[in-house]
Amino acid sequence: MNPNQTVEDESHPYITAASRRIQCLSLHLTPLPPSQPSPQLNMLICAKAANKLEVDKVSLSTYMRGENRDIQEKIIEFFESRPDLQTPVGVPMNEHRELCMRQLVALVREAKIKPFRYVVDDPAKYFAITEAIGSIDVSLGIKLGVQFSLWGGSVLNLGTEKHRDKYFDGIDNLDYPGCFAMTELHHGSNVQGLQTTATFDPVTDEFIIDTPNDGAIKWWIGNAAVHGKFATVFAKLILPTHDSKKVSDMGVHAFIVPIRDLNTLQTLPGIEIHDCGHKVGLNGVDNGALRFRSVRIPRDNLLNRFGDVSRDGKYTSSLPTINKRFAAMLGELVGGRVGLAYASVGFLKISVTIAVRYSLLRQQFGPPKQPEVSILDYQSQQHKLMPMLASSYAFHFATHYLVQKYSEMKKMHDEQLVADVHALSAGLKAYVTSYTAKSLSTCREACGGHGYAAVNRFGSFRNDHDIFQTFEGDNTVLMQQVAADLLKQYKDKFQGGTLSVTWNYLRESMNTYLSQPNPIIARWESADHLRDPKFQLDAFRYRTSRLLQSVAARLRKHSKTLGSFGAWNRCLNHLLLLAESHTESVILAKFIEAVHNCPDASSRAALKLVCDLYALDHIWNDIGTYRNVDYVAPNKAKAIHKLTEYLCFQVRNIAGELVDGFDLPASVTRAPIAMQSEAYAQYTHHIGF
């Protein structure tokens, strides 16, 4: 059949339908020459697209890219120029591990990019590096994080000058690859329950590291199975005493423990290392298990920023209690959570970009005698992808704000700022990674069968990213920390205490939010009102405040009969909903602020449209909550639904420009068919999008 031929014979509907389908398939199998773009593949313009916004993509991408785009482009260009360092599809585990190590060494020694130097001094640049590295290979991004943020970061953040002087260069140039040995077989989230011990021997001036039982084996330790030479081991510090107890447990501390010979890489005496084997994802990272049998290390190997032991076995600390020392130690390790939230947004952007570009070009069905239409013109596809695109922008600004606050914390060491960043990082890490995990599957589904091809990386992203919901803090546990902090702020508010920056809206307007909704405002339904940032943010915060007040009352009630632990467990789902609601309020606040600060008018208008969709889609999805308390009248609820539908359609009209605004390199999205409408042969030739 001639690809340009049109089916004219409509005497039999079944023959007509079959002929049309054969004609369409023939275009796939016998495409037009690349020099003659097929009209069937041109992106279709919606009926109302004449009213679409004009977006200056250069200005938008400039606003989005931030200050560290240059180093990201340098990283991408380096790996693009080195085919020997690119990760092939389906690479076996052992080969993948060695490739990741070669990639990391090449980055540091050949490309001359030294991430470790930015861990403390310029966290924003460090996280930008990890984002670029993760887009090349997620395993490489995690291996880099283990080396520089976890192992290296523990030395910098928990040690003192003597440790930095001794280990900095070796960590920086990869002579000292290392591990972060915190998690045990029986304890992960409950770090204070770790069972590994470090007992001080005053005779030899050494600590003795022991694994007392199988449950105390260090488990899932990155870099341990193959490449690690050192490990930061978290263990209970045990000191001998002269009383009836004979020993004193000073709580969990961190110790530098050599695990392999620096030259031969042979396992050192007393160290047992086992390979955790093949995983669901991240198989370029060599996770292992560590067991210690009376391993002796010098007293100086105690990372002693928050607590030290003298030669005669005396313990000293500027912090008076085990709990305060523990909190200070964990507070210095929140960088991992910040990095995961930031990286997760990167994966979401890539996946949304591929799915949106594919959906703009892919055509299926249409009116009789008319060309097939873009699948993004279908309302169902818009509802899958447009709120996700809006969330990608929202998360971008929220995580950049988190990085900014984290950078300030590293410079100022303000106690209140540390607490604020701890809670903010917990909420954003948990919320963003959970959302991204679900979205990766949605993006795969939105691309149909083509999304199932391994080269498109939806599968590898989904598998590699899945663990983001668990390490650096299980998401359910982290959300409970957010809820606990909110309850503390609630208590402080009514006892006259101060409130931290993140939750200052509780101080400013708690009484307003807890009063009865204004019956007049509850019925306002104009588009101007619904698109007013004040209405949107007030609605988000009203929900959070209602949840906070009600869960506080429930906890008080149940504590009388169940005790504090039982009451917490009884109200756990309510607490998680509270934490989620609060985190969404913070995200929206940062998005509104970013829209306001955008200097280019066309970009600002586009961001405002996306922000409105993000806000109203969330309000509509929880409309029952607002209706139950008459915060929104029935007519207003209907108006919110209609406006959300309209905004979804309008965002679809500029979806191509919006994903271009992410300014992702073509090699990262790997989507040639989604970036140009040439012959379908290009699609089948590349296999990937």
Give pairs for 328-331: CB < 8 Å, separation 24+. Answer: 329/158, 329/252, 329/253, 329/254, 330/191, 330/422, 331/418, 331/419, 331/422
Beta bridge partner(s), residue 292: 271
Q: Which residues contact 36 (CB under 8 A, 6 or more apart)?
A: 679
Residue among 633, 636, 637, 595 at smallest CA distance from 614: 595
Whether residue 184 lies in the annotated active site: no
Of the candidates 389, 427, 382, the one whose C-alpha atom is nearest the C-alpha of residue 614 is: 389
Q: Which amino acid is at 228?
A: G
The catalytic residue among 472, 580, 584, 678 is: 472
Neighbours of 505 (CB within 10 A): 21
- 200 strand-pairing partners: 207
In DSSP terms, 257 is beta-bridged to 231
What's the alpha-carbon Rg for the chain, to the nearest Å?
28
What is the rounded distance in angstroms from the CA atom of residue 432 to the CA atom of residue 66?
20
CA distance 547 to 594: 27
Yes or no: say if 238 and 247 are a contact pair by the CB < 8 Å rule: yes
Asked if 580 and 479 count as a contact pair (C-beta separation under 8 A), the reply is yes
Count of alpha carbons within 13 Å of 194, Cβ hemisphere only? Answer: 30
Mapped onto helix, strand or coil, the DSSP state of residue 604 is helix
441 Cα distance to chain centroid: 16
Is 183 within any annotated ligand binding site? yes
CA 368 to chain centre: 45
Q: Helix, strand, or coil here: 57?
A: helix
152 Cβ neighbours under 8 A, 6+ residues apart: 116, 119, 171, 172, 178
Residues in the chain, how many? Answer: 689
Q: Is residue 582 a contact partner of residue 486, using CB atoms and an 8 Å limit?
A: yes
Provide the token pair at 8: 């004219």
Q: Which residue has the tokens 């899945």?
A: 466
Alpha carbons 306 and 481: distance in angstroms, whole number: 23
Buried-exposed string 439-476: b where 16+ CB fall within 10 A, e elsewhere: bbebbbebbeebbeeebbbbbbbbbbbbbbbbbbbebe
222 is annotated as contributing to ligand binding:
yes
User: Could you give the CA distance from residue 543 to residue 577 in angstroms, rounded to a whole number?
Assistant: 10
For the annotated binding site for FAD, the residues are 183, 222
Residue ranges of the annotated binding site are 183, 222
Catalytic annotation, residues: 472
